Structure formats: C-alpha cells, structure tokens
C-alpha cells in the first residue's frame, strides 16, 4: 500500500476538535503526520466528512453471546438464570460455526467504529472437554474471524478450571477447562501473535481458577509482558463465596497471588470495598466497565469514579453484546453515575472518549493505538454530523455530540492500518452483515 493522505473535515485530537486536519499514512499503516488548519483537501487526499476519532477499542467481548440478543429478554431472572441460557448456546459451537458467528459479530463491531476487540475466550474444547485435533482450534477461529473483517484482536485466552470454590467443572463447563493452570499454559503457548492479533491471558474469575493456580496464569502473562484480564466482583454471591472460602475479598485474593498490576484489567469491578479500590488503584490495575451488560444483567453500578481517582485506568466493553455500541457504553458510564449521585458531569466528553479509545487499546496491549498522532497505528473512525441525532451542535462540540447524542448508526467510515474496512456505512469485506448474523446465529441456536 502506497502512502495515503486523508483530509478530515473535523478531527478529535484528544483534548479538542480541530477543523481541516490532514493525516498522512505510511505504507506500513501508521500515521506519518497530523497537520491542522487545512481549509481544503490537498490534491489527491481522501476526504472524510464528519468527525473523525481514533478507532474505538472494545476491551471486553464474548463473541458467542451475540446469539443471546433479545432471546434472554423474555421473562425475568438473574445473572445466574441468564447463564443457563448462555451455556445452551456455548454447547452448540464448533470451530466452523464459531468462525462464522465471530466473523459476523466482528463485522458488526467494525460498522460501529470498533477497530480492536479484546476477546475473553474460554470455549476451548469440544463438548464434554475432549480437545480438538488442534487444541487451539476455537481460538484460531476467532483470530481468523477478526482477520476476515479487517479489525485487530487481542485474544485473551482464559483459564476456566472450576465451577466454584472447591467444585469441579459442571457438564456445561467441561469444554472450558484444561484441567490445571499448567495444562492451560502449555496449550496457550501454541497460539502465536500476528500483525492483527495479540495473545493475552485471562483468569475467568476467582471462583473458576483455584487460588493455588492463579500465580501460574499471572506468571505466563508476566513472562510475555502480555495483557491479563479477569472478571472481578461482578456478583455479590461471588464475593460472599470467596470470603467464606478464603476469608478475603476477590481483589485481595488476586493481590495475594500476584495477579494485579498495570498490565492487568479487572472487568466489571462492581462490588468493591474501599480497600479493594485502594488495591486496584495502587497497583494501577485497570477497570473495564461494560455498562449495557451490567444493567442488562442487573449486576449493579461499579465505583468507576473512585477507581479512576485511585489510579485505575478506565476502559469500556460491550461484553454480552446486548448492543454493540461503544459510544453508548461511554454515555452509560456517565449517566449511571448521574443516577446514583444525582449530580452531573463526572467525566468530560474528552475523558469518556479516551476510555473508549486510547485507554481501551492500552488495556489490550496496544499503547500505540487510540490516538491521532504521528507514529500511532492508522486506525480511526468517522461519525456523521448531519444525521437526525447529530445535526445542530457546533462542530467544536463534536466530542460532546459523539458521546451524548451519537450512536453506532452514525459511523460512516472505519479505517484500520490505513485501509478502509467500512466505507459510507457499508462493510467492504462482508457484503451482508445482517444476513451473516442471522445465518450464524441460527446455526448455533439449537
């Protein structure tokens, strides 16, 4: 690919919106220059009308949960009853059906301006727990699905070894388990990074990885300087069970076994003590909030404000994909806090966009993404400023418009490594994303 030039009608540069910005992109897919004050496009430049922001980072995804959308809205229940429905879909996945489903889901993400996904992957083996001929067939399906739609992925291969404290995996969970953390590590060593794919690690939760095996997962990530994620204190029942088994909160247990640190991200971090918040912030452990899933599952509202003040960087994820819209996740984090506190303005629009971009990419092991600046990956997305949702505000308020008014439906272009993946609202590699979703979901619905 020869060097390209883009002219951005308006661009968010992290702390302000500038009109008339020229981006030079190298043949290697990085930003070579950012020049402001260009009133008109240079000769030969590709014109992007609207507001261009860095590509959005979806820091927490379970791709197969997309098959649950709407189905799980029938009737009532809790996280635990929702989980039983989820297990039913998980049992129907094969490497081929998972590739098809993930390809469609990742294409939907690209249409929503997402250029990088953190896939929290734990469906490793065939039903019953028998490994596939390629023990990483399911993870490879996810990596190839991301390549097929032109986005980046950090595969967070997940250790999931137990049903609860001192309990063996149940019938549904056997395909998630490698038996021991050592066996998990041996399998994951067979996964190799690629230009579009990084390999990270995850602890499913303190209930799913015995305490004496947490350090093995942490050491694997530490040796490779890889991202390490963990579901943390999503449910009060998990906290109660951890206290009963270990006399410690889940956060304290993770700290005891070396899991916390600046490459680690706790997902949800909902039900924390003041001491937990201090531990997470003091170790610079990140927090990935997934507000649409957390409210969909009636989990609660996590303490994002005190976590960030304590030193925990914030990122965002769409998790169960009740919707795939990182702008909605950013908006929801602020609006949830307004409901709880009955005050407004806990984060600026700039801060919320930073969580959805630079800090999300950093949580996925790509600190060189999420910024429109020289040297960064040329991953960006353009939002229309003339739709029924976005028309009217001054362009200089583009960040506020993006976070508090726009939606994924307003994405017009998504560029990854200088290559158009979405052009004028149409995916360039997947001709019929809605049709692909319908077919893939029907194949795993059972």
Q: Which of 178, 319, 325, 410 is catalytic?
A: 319
Q: What values do phi and psi take at 16, rounded to 5?
A: -165, 165
Q: Give the active site residue among 268, 271, 361, 413.
A: 268
β-pair partners for 319: 61
The DSSP code for 75 is S
Which residues make beta-bridge pairs with 120?
A: 156
Chain mean position to CA 241? 27
CA nearest to 200, candidates 315, 109, 119: 119
Six-digit token string for 430: 């997947």
Is 379 an annotated catalytic residue?
Answer: no
Task: Please count the other Cβ atoms lying within 10 Å of the Cβ belonging to residue 171.
Answer: 12
For this structure, is 256 an active site residue? no
Contact 49, 43 (CB under 8 A): no
Contact by Cβ (8 Å): 109, 117: yes
Residue-wise DSSP of 182-239: HHHHHHHTT---BTTEEEEEEE--TTTS-HHHHHHHHHHHHHHT--EEEEES-SHHHH
Residues β-bridged to residue 47: 7
What are the residue numbers of the active site? 268, 319
């Amino acid at each position: 690919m020869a060097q390209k030039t883009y002219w951005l009608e308006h661009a968010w540069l992290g702390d302000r919106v500038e009109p008339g910005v020229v981006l030079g992109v190298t043949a290697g897919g990085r930003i070579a220059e950012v020049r402001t004050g260009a009133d008109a496009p240079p000769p030969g430049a590709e014109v992007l009308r609207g507001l261009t922001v860095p590509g959005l980072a979806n820091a927490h995804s379970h791709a197969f949960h997309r098959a649950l959308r709407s189905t799980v809205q029938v009737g009532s229940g809790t996280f635990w009853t929702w989980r039983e429905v989820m297990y039913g879909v998980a049992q129907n996945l094969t490497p081929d059906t998972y590739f098809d489903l993930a390809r469609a889901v990742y294409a939907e993400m690209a249409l929503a301006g997402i250029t990088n996904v953190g896939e929290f992957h734990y469906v490793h083996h065939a039903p019953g727990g028998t490994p596939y001929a390629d023990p990483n067939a399911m993870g490879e399906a996810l990596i190839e699905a991301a390549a097929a739609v032109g986005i980046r992925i950090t595969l967070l291969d997940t250790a999931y070894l137990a049903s609860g404290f001192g309990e063996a995996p149940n019938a549904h969970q056997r395909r998630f388990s490698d038996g021991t953390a050592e066996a998990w590590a041996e399998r994951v060593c067979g996964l190799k990074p690629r230009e579009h794919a990084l390999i990270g690690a995850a602890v499913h939760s303190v209930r799913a990885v015995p305490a004496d095996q947490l350090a093995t997962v942490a050491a694997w990530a530490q040796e490779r300087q890889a991202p390490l994620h963990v579901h943390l204190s999503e449910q009060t029942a998990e906290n109660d069970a951890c206290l009963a088994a270990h006399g410690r909160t889940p956060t304290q247990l993770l700290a005891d076994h070396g899991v916390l640190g600046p490459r680690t991200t706790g997902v949800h971090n909902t039900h924390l003590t003041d001491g937990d918040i201090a531990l997470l912030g003091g170790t610079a452990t990140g927090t990935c909030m997934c507000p649409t899933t957390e409210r969909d599952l009636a989990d609660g509202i996590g303490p994002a404000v005190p976590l960030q003040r304590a030193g925990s960087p914030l990122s965002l994820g769409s998790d169960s994909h009740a919707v795939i819209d990182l702008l909605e996740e950013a908006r929801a984090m602020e609006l949830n806090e307004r409901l709880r506190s009955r005050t407004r303005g806990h984060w600026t629009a700039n801060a919320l966009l930073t969580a959805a971009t630079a800090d999300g990419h950093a949580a996925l092991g790509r600190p060189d993404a999420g910024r429109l600046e020289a040297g960064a990956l040329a991953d960006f997305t353009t939002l229309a400023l003339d739709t029924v949702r976005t028309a009217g505000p001054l362009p200089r308020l583009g960040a506020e418009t993006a976070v508090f008014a726009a939606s994924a439906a307003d994405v017009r272009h998504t560029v990854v490594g200088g290559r158009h993946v979405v052009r004028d609202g149409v995916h360039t590699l997947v001709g019929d994303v809605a049709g692909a979703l319908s077919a893939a979901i029907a194949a795993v619905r059972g």
